[in-house]
A and B are shown apart, each in its own frame.
Chain A
Amino acid sequence: MTVEIKLSHTAAMILQTISSGTIYGFGIMERTGLPSGTVYPALRRLERDALIRSEWEKQSIADKEMRPPRKFYKMTPAGKTTLLAMMKRYPLLERLGAMDEVKTV
């Protein structure tokens, strides 16, 4: 038996943003316009509920580009199912524009 996870509109918006590909925290803030104090805790909750997963960028890549490694977030299958359910609940989510630039790990 699967348990339906209820998300707030903000969390659903973040999940929708992540659904377009791998993305990092600051990118979500830029695209959604949400403050960091909202985005990061929501990311943690989504990750705890296994709707997204995170992984650190390889240190070697970051070192090559002389910048710190980033933490990327990616949708899980459970996240996709939940997002579909949330789309019905929050129809305005679909109006969120497609992502311009998505980095991949």
Chain B
Amino acid sequence: MTSLLLYRMALRLVACAVPRALRAEWVAEWESELWYIAESSASRGEITAFCWGAVEDARSLRQMHLVAPVRAAGSAWACVGWVVGLAVVSFGLAQALPRVRLASTSPVYRSSTDSVLISSGEAKTGSMIPLLRVRAWQRRRQHLFTEFAFYAPLVRTVRTEMETTRPLALARASGNMLRMLGVPVLFAQEPRGVEPVLVLSQSAWHRDFGGSEAVFGQVVKVGAQRVRIGGVVPDEAAPAGGRIDGWILLPETETLPETTDVYLVGRLAEGATMRGPQWEMTVPGVDGDVYYSCRILPALRADVWRMYLFAVFLALLALPATTSLSLGEYAARPVNLHWVATLRRWVFLVTKIACAMPAIYFAGLIAAYAMHSTSPYTPQYIQLVTTFGLTLFALRWSLRDQRRRCPVCLGRLTCPARVGEPSRNFLAWNGTELICADGHGFLHVPEMATSWFSTQRWLHLDPSWSGLFMGPVEGTRVT
């Protein structure tokens, strides 16, 4: 009796493989036959063979009913799930990439707006000035500037206890340089000892010091000079451009020879107003007037959020030029959809777009900031173009997807069929007809827009048609 129960359970298990519509009938027949086989004093082997035959039955039945019932190609939930998945993946990727993670906080490279890069007037903007002239200027009474800072580039290797780096592009700078420019210093160390502070650039810290936080506070040698590593600044900190791998902030600049050429930065006095961002000026020197060219340094920050919003705004402007904003003319045969169905359609559209926007935001950041760039502006351009393109694509896709969905069940319309011929467009129409797998109606999309049939139309089917759509489609094979 127990074994018979086991056989019945086995048959029930096998029945799971039988198409649902036939399952109850087959289970009844199997169980009935099983009883008779057991009653006929068949051996256990024969009963097992009978049950094993049920497996063959199920396989055969599946083959006989290969034609699957037409189902909606994509449910609304699956669609939203995919978009949310994309957003989660892009967020995870953005968090996994250090550069992108840093950029997502909208880093400030230089915050100062009253710093002026002062160049020698005889040369082009950004040229260096002999330190002798700078000192002479500093000794004079100042009207326009309240403070000066300067730096002199040099190339040296840095020797740590363990190894020596490649030759680095360093800058010997006055101690107030980074503060005056408003450059944020990460991992800033409290001043200790008498050694000058070496502030590394981000790329040099990662490339030559392995991005290790243990290097901060260490005393290293730059040439013969002992310096203490005291923080990290953005690569874009240098006001005159170019690559600076490290800033040696000198507490005293008197030791620098007067023949040293330096980049000079001055801070404008409060209330000093200039007519433009650039001007030329003359300063009395020891051997006559000296001409200087001045340029106000703009604040430098990567405001990724504003850039994202700007790109989205541009995409919204461009959208009507690339696709129709209409969601489809559903009123060819007026049907009062229940307000819940109408609301659900709109919620679905908004949800799709709302879930796509974070994915675009992080994808734009990844494209712009995953790779190192020598210019602070390059990633911003990349972010602008990427975000614009992705937003336009996402909005177009959202609208097109919405137009190809049943307004009642939100399932994707299936079975596209060409209807009519272009030559008969005068009296009829030609285009594509799609159908809702659940039988809610047809969508007619004209191939050529005419005055009487310009946009797609939804032909609603009332519940009396439901019999055509319910139940599996039977196979049509011949034995």
Contact = CB atoms under 8 A, between A and B. Distances in A.
Contact of A25 (B33, B64, B478): B33
Contact of A7 (B49, B50, B61, B479): B479
Contacts of B61: 41, 44
A37 B53 contact: yes
Interface string A41-67: 110111011000000100000000001
Contacts of A31: none
B60 A68 contact: no
A25 B29 contact: yes
B54 interface: yes
Given A45-B64, A68-B32, A40 B479 contact: no
A49 B479 contact: yes
B184 to A, nearest CB: 76
Contacts of A25: 29, 33
A35 B37 contact: no
A36 B479 contact: no
Contacts of B64: 41, 44-45, 48
A36 B53 contact: yes
Contacts of A7: 479
Nearest to B478: A5
A31 to B, nearest CB: 13
B381 interface: no
B56 A49 contact: no
Contacts of A24: 33, 36
Contact of A36 (B31, B39, B50, B478): B50
A71 interface: yes
A13 interface: no
Contact of B33 (A26, A38, A42): A26
B39 to A, nearest CB: 7
A46 B39 CA distance: 28
B57 interface: yes
B35 interface: yes
A80 interface: no
Contact of A40 (B29, B35, B37, B39): B29
Contact of B57 (A41, A46, A67, A71): A41
Interface in B116-166: none
Given A25-B29, A70-B36, A35 B56 contact: yes
Contact of A37 (B37, B40, B54): B54
Interface in B1-59: 26, 28-29, 31-33, 35-37, 39-40, 49-50, 52-57
B478 A6 contact: yes
A40 B64 CA distance: 13
Nearest to A54: B29
Interface centre among A6, A7, A25, A36 (most CB of B within 10 A): A36
Contacts of B53: 35-40
A41 B54 contact: no
A70 B35 CA distance: 10
A39 B54 CA distance: 10
A81 B28 CA distance: 30
B29 A71 contact: yes
Contact of A6 (B28, B33, B49, B479): B479
Interface residues of A, number: 28
Nearest to A41: B60
A38 B29 contact: no
A41 B56 contact: yes
A44 B479 CA distance: 10
Interface in B325-345: none
A25 B30 CA distance: 9
A36 B36 contact: no
A76 interface: no
B54 A36 contact: yes
Contacts of A67: 35-36, 39
A28 B317 CA distance: 75
Interface string A3-45: 0011110010000000000001110010000011111111011
A36 B33 contact: yes
B55 A37 contact: yes
A50 to B, nearest CB: 11
Nearest to B55: A37
A26 B478 contact: no
Interface in B51-110: 52-57, 60-61, 64
Contacts of B31: 68
B478 to A, nearest CB: 6
Contacts of B55: 37
Interface in A48-105: 48-49, 56, 67-71
A37 to B, nearest CB: 2
Given A36-B49, A67-B39, A68-B32, A49 B54 contact: no
Interface of A: 5-8, 11, 24-26, 29, 35-42, 44-46, 48-49, 56, 67-71
Given A25-B33, A48-B479, 13 more contacts: A26-B36, A26-B37, A35-B53, A35-B56, A36-B52, A36-B56, A36-B57, A38-B53, A41-B57, A44-B64, A49-B478, A56-B28, A68-B36
11 contacts: A8-B479, A26-B36, A26-B40, A36-B50, A37-B53, A38-B53, A41-B57, A45-B479, A48-B64, A49-B478, A69-B32
